[in-house]
Amino acid sequence: ARDGTATRYTVVQRPAQVEILPGVLTDVWGYDGLFPGPTLRARRGERVVVTHHNDLPVPTVVHLHGGHTPAASDGFPTDLVLPAGPAATSRTGHGGMPHGAGDVRRGTREHVYPGDQPAATLWYHDHRMDFTAPQVWRGLAGFHLVSDDVEDALPLPHGERDVPLMIMDRSFGADGELRYPSLDASLAGPPGVSADHTSGVLGDVLLVNGRPWPVLAVAAARYRLRLLNASNARRYDLALDPVPPQGPAFVQVASDGGLLAAPVAHDHVPLAPAERYEVLVDFGAYPVGTEVTLTNALGTGPTDAVMRFRVVRRAREDSTVPARLAAVPTLRPRRDAPRRTWRFARGRTGTGHWLINDALFDPARTDATVRLGDIEVWRFASDLHHPVHVHLAPFQVLSRGGRDPGAFDVGWKDTLDLRPGEHADVAVRFPAHPGRYLVHCHNLEHEDMGMMATFATV
Residue ranges that bind ligand C2O, judged by CB under 6 A: 63, 65, 125, 127, 274, 389, 391, 438, 440, 442
CA-CA distance, 76 to 73, in Å (whole number)?
8
The site partner of 11 among Cu ion, ligand C2O, none (C-beta below 5 to 8 Å per kind) is none
Among 135, 443, 454, 457, the residue binding Cu ion under the rule CB under 5 A is 443
| CB-nearer residue toward ligand C2O: 103 or 291 | 103
Ranked by CB distance to ligand C2O, the top (closest) residue is: 65
Per rule CB under 5 A, is residue 276 in the interface with Cu ion? Answer: no
The site partner of 272 among ligand C2O, Cu ion, none (C-beta below 5 to 8 Å per kind) is none
CA-CA distance, 261 to 259, in Å (whole number)?
7
| CB-nearer residue toward ligand C2O: 125 or 179 | 125
Of 171, 444, 415, give the one whose Cα is nearest residue 303: 171
DSSP 438: E
Q: Which residues pair with 268 in a beta bridge?
A: none
Among 446, 454, 455, 457, the residue binding Cu ion under the rule CB under 5 A is 446
Size of the site for Cu ion (CB under 5 A): 6
The Cα-based distances of 101 to 80, 97, 131, 178, 364 in angstroms read 10, 11, 17, 33, 7
| CB-nearer residue toward ligand C2O: 76 or 408 | 76
Instruction: Give SS3 for 80.
Output: coil
DSSP string, 247-283: S-SEEEEEETTEEEEEEEEES-EEE-TT-EEEEEEEG
CA-CA distance, 228 to 188, in Å (whole number)?
28
The site partner of 127 among Cu ion, ligand C2O, none (C-beta below 5 to 8 Å per kind) is ligand C2O
The site partner of 386 among Cu ion, ligand C2O, none (C-beta below 5 to 8 Å per kind) is Cu ion
The site partner of 440 among Cu ion, ligand C2O, none (C-beta below 5 to 8 Å per kind) is ligand C2O
CA-CA distance, 66 to 61, in Å (whole number)?
16
Span interacting with Cu ion, options 7-15, 135-143, 176-184, 438-446, rule CB under 5 A: 438-446
CA-CA distance, 144 to 207, in Å (whole number)?
19
Per rule CB under 5 A, is residue 413 in the interface with Cu ion? Answer: no
The Cα-based distances of 231 to 161, 189, 202 in angstroms read 24, 17, 8
Span interacting with Cu ion, options 51-59, 164-172, 177-185, 442-450, rule CB under 5 A: 442-450
Q: Does 98 sit behind a cis peptide bond, omega within 30 degrees of 0 on the bond before it? A: no
| CB-nearer residue toward ligand C2O: 133 or 195 | 133
Tell the smallest beta-carbon distance from residue 372 to ligand C2O (Å). Answer: 20
Contact letters (x/-) for Cu ion, 20-59, by CB under 5 A?
----------------------------------------
DSSP 302: G
Span interacting with Cu ion, options 174-182, 224-232, 249-257, 445-453, rule CB under 5 A: 445-453
Type and span of the H or E element at 2: none
**DSSP helix, strand, coil percent of the chain (3-state; round to 5):** 5, 45, 50
Of 224, 237, 242, give the one whose Cα is nearest residue 278: 224
Tell the smallest beta-carbon distance from residue 122 to ligand C2O (Å). Answer: 9
The site partner of 441 among Cu ion, ligand C2O, none (C-beta below 5 to 8 Å per kind) is Cu ion
CA-CA distance, 355 to 344, in Å (whole number)?
6
Per rule CB under 5 A, is residue 441 in the interface with Cu ion? Answer: yes
Tell the smallest beta-carbon distance from residue 75 to Cu ion (Å). Answer: 8
| CB-nearer residue toward Cu ion: 106 or 429 | 429
Question: Which residues inside 383-402 make contact with Cu ion, applying CB under 5 A?
Answer: 386, 391
Among 52, 65, 144, 266, the residue binding Cu ion under the rule CB under 5 A is 65
What does the binding site for Cu ion look like in residue numbers (CB under 5 A)? 65, 386, 391, 441, 443, 446
